[in-house]
Amino acid sequence: GILTLKVNKELKPFYLNLDWYTKYQLKNIMQFKSTYSFRLYELLKQYEKIGIRSITIDDFRCVLDIDDKQYPKYANLKQKVISVAVNEINSKTDLYIEYEEEKA
């Protein structure tokens, strides 16, 4: 498919100076089947230059908009969200993710 955009002349300066936003190739996210893959990919692209990101499970749920009632057990969250998203990102994008679980 083709996406054609027309930029309003008055807004052109704003669109051309978007350096502070996270940038990624659209082709990297178009193949995702999981919404969580997209959200996690965006989150990780923000920290790509740093190379590491630590996040609590509560913050992870918040960023991915996952209610406490969805996947209440960590094992379910890991199986249905984390593993699926990591596998999709690793196989379909320019990022490769490895993660380590830490107990608090």
pLDDT digits over 44-91, tens only? 888 888 888 888 999 999 999 999 899 999 999 999 999 999 999 999
Looking at the predicted structure, is the pLDDT value of residue 13 above 80? no
CB atoms near residue 27 (< 10 Å): 10
Looking at the predicted structure, is the pLDDT value of residue 9 above 90? no
Q: What is the pTM of this model?
A: 0.71
Q: What residue spans of the chain are helical by DSSP H?
A: 12-16, 26-29, 35-46, 57-63, 74-77, 83-92
Q: Which of 1-10, 26-35, 52-61 has the highest mean pLDDT?
A: 52-61
State the amino acid at position 96 in one-letter form: Y
